[in-house]
Structures are given as C-alpha cells and as structure tokens.
Chains A and B, each alone.
Chain A
Amino acid sequence: MSKYVRVETQIQDETIFLQALQETCLEEGIEFEQGEDLSLYGYQGRRRPEKANFVIRRRYIGRSANDLGFRRREDGSIEAIISEYDQRTRGQQILNSVKRNYAVRVVRRAARQAGHQVQTETAEGAAVRLRIRV
C-alpha cells in the first residue's frame, strides 16, 4: 500500500439513498414509510418532537425501540434520526446496513465516472471490498 484515504460517507443523493433503504428493508424483511413531516414515536408510543421524510417504525426494530427516521436537510442531504438507546440495538444495525448499501452504490458510480471498472466485489463479513485494476 502506498497511498490511502478514509472517508466518512455522507448521504447526499436521495435517489441512491432510497435504493439503499429499499435494499436494506428487503434484506431485513421490514418496511418503511415515506412522506413529508412524518411523526416519530418513542418506545411507549409517545410522539417525539422530530419529523422525518422516511421512517422505519419501531415494531420492525424491537420491543423497546423507537422509530428510526431519516430527514432531508435543506441542502438535500439526508440525516438519520436515531435515539441514543437504539444506537445500541438492532436500530443501529439497520442504520449501518442502509449506510453500507448507500456507500457501495455511490462508490460504484464514482468509480465508473472516473473511468475505472470494478473488477471484483466481495463481501467480507458485513464489510464489502471492491478491487479496481489501474
């Protein structure tokens, strides 16, 4: 290895985010809601102050879970709304899966746009490794 870069992925493309969310929901056997200003509910069924554009309801996450939301920011990027409690539960695993599926898609696209061709793509546990010959 001679040069390296580490990037914290930011969800900037809503179309690709939606594809990643659909992929995760299919893999997990769960559903999501899409709309404007959707309310989020906590583990006791109480409405929380946050609003979201995409929501995975808590019944799909766990008995004591809160809804997992995604909100569109003014600049068009997407931010996750996850409670502190759910960062230690299946909610975080679902969020990680969405972020991973999103990252794989945007990396493939960015590589293609840079004129590269992905040679191999392999799953290594929950991680994904892509190799590009140059």
Chain B
Amino acid sequence: MAEIVIEITEDGQIKGDIEGIHGPDCEGLLDFLKDLGEVTDEGRTRDYYRQSRRQQRGRERAKR
C-alpha cells in the first residue's frame, strides 16, 4: 500500500516519508510540506533507485 507518512516530532518538526512507491512516481508527493518551514534535509533512499532500475529493465525488455 502506498502512503505518505508524516511525523510531527515532540518539538513540532515535520518528517515526511513515502512508503510503497518507488522511482520517479515519488517526485513531488512531499512538496506540500516544504512551504511549512525551512527544509533541513531532503533525499532519496536506496529503495528509490532499486525500483527505478527494475522498472528500467522492464522497459528494456519490453523494447526487445
């Protein structure tokens, strides 16, 4: 199941994570949190690229 998980920490900081979606489909899904303050960290985990490569291989197979 694909979800955005948001944690509001004890001191009111915001942590947003995407679970269950990989690769470029994630892009932009957390943007709505960025206007709420100063972005202190942002990035992609290994899951993001792993799925991207899998999708890429699938696309390459489809071309053949």
Contacts and interface: CB of A to CB of B under 8 A. Distances in A.
Interface residues of A, number: 38
Contact of A3 (B11, B13, B35, B45): B45
A26 interface: no
A4 B17 contact: yes
Interface string B1-35: 11111111111111111110111001101111111
A99 B41 CA distance: 19
Nearest to A116: B4
Interface string A107-122: 1001101101001000
B5 A103 contact: no
Contacts of B16: 4-7
Contacts of A8: 13, 37-40
B36 interface: yes
Contact of A113 (B8, B17, B32, B48): B32
A113 B6 CA distance: 16
B10 A6 contact: no
Contacts of B44: 2-4
A82 interface: no
Nearest to B44: A3
Interface in A92-134: 96, 98-104, 106-107, 110-111, 113-114, 116, 119, 124-134
B58 interface: no
Contact of B39 (A7, A103, A125, A126): A7
B21 to A, nearest CB: 6
Given A10-B38, A103-B14, A5 B30 contact: yes
A1 B40 contact: no
Contacts of B48: 2-3
Given A96-B11, A126-B10, 4 more contacts: A2-B26, A3-B26, A4-B42, A7-B33
